[in-house]
Structure 1
């Protein structure tokens, strides 16, 4: 009796201490998550380097992390800095009156009066829609300007988070396999289930990060390129914006290039509008429709609608990190239920076979 009380008390304290540790780590969720993602994504590279260098864990982890910094972290920082700078410039142009988003919408309305008639059939007021669109553009540029100011004021916090992510990534690259084995021993889910879930976690993280980022880079580069070719101002800004919004499946970069194509048609530049529309539908849209199922849906083994819903839900719940965390939660949900259905179906089948065998045995016994 006393031993049971001790065990229950210990388990209760274990839960409490674990929850306290989770809340303690909550402010560092972003750096910890991306450190884990880096370790998972670059694990094959680490294995390849280990084959070349030999069993030198510190050297291999440092080389892998350096490669990650050169090809991923530094370019992302430069790209985000460029986006913020372009956003600040856009906000300044709007504030000075040099750029007036409302005039663009008025030009579209004047050139295509059928749009207002179509909106009125659905009881949508164009003036209200115009005001919301202008506020969205102004708000977006203002947000980027505030982010630029925030980066300047919180430089220490930014570099602290970056240093923490790099520091954790080094140890996860070096000791990741041992940590996984330790977790498998500690978690009371059964070793086979735990290995399956960890494999699913790694698979989905690699697929969503590599797939979504690769698709975003491709679509953003294609969108920025066509904007630059057509002479549209702020090609770099809009290319980065298209890269960001392309993280949303099924919607993606069309949020940016479709309104621009409509505006080009409204001002009479039909050639540019036709070129942008054709390029957007055939090239940018085809890149999303072909690459996303290959890089994301195939590896995560999630249907397209589940990827879309989980991505949107993840972004709402976790912010920008949600484009990875959302599909990850959905994939783990599917994995847990898959294990449950498989194991309990087998258990029920075994019970049914046992019952059937008993009935057959009873039938064989003479009265």
Structure 2
């Protein structure tokens, strides 16, 4: 059976397009992380960029240049300092963990009489677990050590890994300048490539914009505020490694269940067990306030935009970190939500009804 007219030219065009796409990816992939951070910063700074454009007489180059010069001082230096302190505090926790067993002589379950509350928890755990005393102790110590080591690696790579070289920082700043100056033009160009009528394009981009803003401003910013306040609470209460547990609080704040309580509740119990009742009561009140912040802060930041499923955020954060490193905290939920939004849009276009992203 002869091929339809134009079949082979279409196959050739698709093959060439695929090869070109692979080539472009190979060229750009070494710069994916700096490009990603530049895009995130451009998105966060774009409202300020619009105000500066208006102040400078709608000259986008001057506005973008001003923000690009200020970005290293206002954003990059504080985050880099935070990463350094995070790694240093992780190292301190590792040393404390290694010294804990000899210091407290926790060599058998009988030694837990020093901490009656811990002995009860430990005995309950052994009664419901298929582990011996030695196996449980080894598992807890090795598991905690591995978790802290992984956290140290993640914290060290947050900015210093991908942007440790001067060239990486320079590339990110150059990209930030062009994203701020030409971002709206790039979006218009991308819209022109979509084979839909203008009404559908408008709906699609409005949906995608709402989802992105809900992720960045709603979920991510709320989690960062909660992590910051948790670190402040740890500092006031005199608890060790406030930066580490503040970062941990920001991460667990994105979980569908538990949230920052997974961090501040054990810390509060430790304060009570250690006899610091005043700080224990303080952390209890501080933690309750902290856990309730997202009930009003997130709706205020989203301002009626598209809601985003907590499950999507949770899976997106975990998968994003695994696939992209630290930038996956933001990129993972955004990519997953955008894909679900596109599926929803396609179902609506066909007359179907899809789940909310």
TM-score, length-scaled by structure 1: 0.77
CA–CA distance in structure 2, aligned partners of residues 307 and 236 of structure 1: 23
Distance 1:271 1:46, change over 3 A: closer
CA–CA distance in structure 2, aligned partners of residues 159 and 251 of structure 1: 40
Report how far residue 146 of structure 1 moved. Answer: 6.2
CA–CA distance in structure 1, aligned partners of residues 70 and 317 of structure 2: 28
Are the counterparts in 2 of residues 217 and 243 from structure 1 also a CA contact under 8 Å?
Answer: yes
CA–CA distance in structure 2, aligned partners of residues 14 and 339 of structure 1: 26
Report how far residue 322 of structure 1 moved. Answer: 2.5
SS in 1 for 2:305: helix
Aligned 1:104-183 pairs, distance under 5 A:
106=112, 110-120=116-126, 122-123=128-129, 125=131, 127=133, 128-143=135-150, 157-183=164-190
Report how far residue 62 of structure 1 moved. Answer: 0.8
Moved more, 17-26 or 313-322: 313-322
Could you tell me which residue of structure 2 aligns to residue 364 of structure 1?
A: none
SS in 2 for 1:184: helix
Could you tell me which residue of structure 2 aligns to residue 320 of structure 1?
A: 326
Could you tell me which residue of structure 2 aligns to residue 267 of structure 1?
A: 274
Could you tell me which residue of structure 1 aligns to residue 315 of structure 2?
A: 309
SS in 2 for 1:302: coil
Could you tell me which residue of structure 1 aligns to residue 87 of structure 2?
A: 84
| Residue of 289, 302, 306 corresponding to 1:283 | 289
Report how far residue 261 of structure 1 moved. Answer: 2.2
Could you tell me which residue of structure 2 aligns to residue 229 of structure 1?
A: 236
CA–CA distance in structure 1, aligned partners of residues 207 and 152 of structure 2: 39
Deviations 1:86-142 (A, max 9, x none): 223334455567996995994786334442354345335484444333224333444
CA–CA distance in structure 2, aligned partners of residues 162 and 102 of structure 1: 48
Report how far residue 172 of structure 1 moved. Answer: 1.3
Report how far residue 288 of structure 1 moved. Answer: 3.6
Are the counterparts in 1 of residues 33 and 327 from structure 2 also a CA contact under 8 Å?
Answer: yes
Could you tell me which residue of structure 2 aligns to residue 204 of structure 1?
A: 211
Deviations 1:47-85 (A, max 9, x none): 111111013222111123334444322221121122122
CA–CA distance in structure 1, aligned partners of residues 217 and 102 of structure 2: 37
- Aligned pair count? 344
Are the counterparts in 2 of residues 62 and 170 from structure 1 also a CA contact under 8 Å?
Answer: yes
Is 2:67 the partner of 1:64? yes
Deviations 1:285-342 (A, max 9, x none): 1124443455469634223333333333333443322222232233223322332222
Distance 1:258 1:165, change over 3 A: same
CA–CA distance in structure 2, aligned partners of residues 263 and 119 of structure 1: 18
CA–CA distance in structure 1, aligned partners of residues 92 and 102 of structure 2: 11
TM-score, length-scaled by structure 2: 0.79
Could you tell me which residue of structure 2 aligns to residue 360 of structure 1?
A: none
Report how far residue 13 of structure 1 moved. Answer: 0.7
Are the counterparts in 1 of residues 211 and 337 from structure 2 also a CA contact under 8 Å?
Answer: yes
Are the counterparts in 1 of residues 319 and 328 from structure 2 also a CA contact under 8 Å?
Answer: yes
SS in 1 for 2:293: helix
CA–CA distance in structure 2, aligned partners of residues 121 and 98 of structure 1: 22
Moved more, 59-68 or 84-93: 84-93
Could you tell me which residue of structure 1 aligns to residue 355 of structure 2?
A: none
| Residue of 12, 17, 20 corresponding to 2:15 | 12
Distance 1:155 1:296, change over 3 A: closer
Report how far residue 40 of structure 1 moved. Answer: 2.3
SS in 2 for 1:176: helix
Q: CA RMSD in A?
A: 3.7
Deviations 1:340-362 (A, max 9, x none): 2222128xxxxxxxxxxxxxxxx
CA–CA distance in structure 2, aligned partners of residues 132 and 216 of structure 1: 30
Could you tell me which residue of structure 2 aligns to residue 354 of structure 1?
A: none
Are the counterparts in 1 of residues 214 and 308 from structure 2 also a CA contact under 8 Å?
Answer: no
User: Higher helix proportion, which one?
Assistant: 1
Gaps of 5+ in 1: 347-367
CA–CA distance in structure 2, aligned partners of residues 194 and 169 of structure 1: 26
